[in-house]
Amino acid sequence: MAEIVNLNHYRKAKNRVAAEVEASNNRVLFGRKRAEAEVARKLAEKKKEGLDGKKLSD
């Protein structure tokens, strides 16, 4: 007779692995130093200001 297996263990293990992969990808995407994030924010702000200056009046 076969051994009884709880499939919830396998499902949860699979979900843990998928969550770890996603977390690893997020660390690469969002894991920037404060200075790098500040520079990116300032560049985006400057770009937006440049576009706002070229906007036609409503």
pLDDT in tens, 13-35: 999 999 999 999 998 888 888 88
pLDDT band, residue 5 (cuts 50/70/90) = confident
- Both tokens of 34, joined, read 């404060």
Judge whether residue 9 has pLDDT over 70: yes
Question: Quick check: 40 and 32 in contact, CB under 8 A?
Answer: yes
- pLDDT at position 56 is 74
Please state, for a pLDDT cut of 70, what percent of the chain lies above it.
98
What is the distance between the alpha carbons of residues 47 and 29, in angstroms, rounded to a whole number?
Answer: 21
Dihedral pair phi/psi, residue 21, rounded to 5°: -65, -45
Under 8 Å CB-to-CB from 29, ≥6 apart: which residues?
A: none
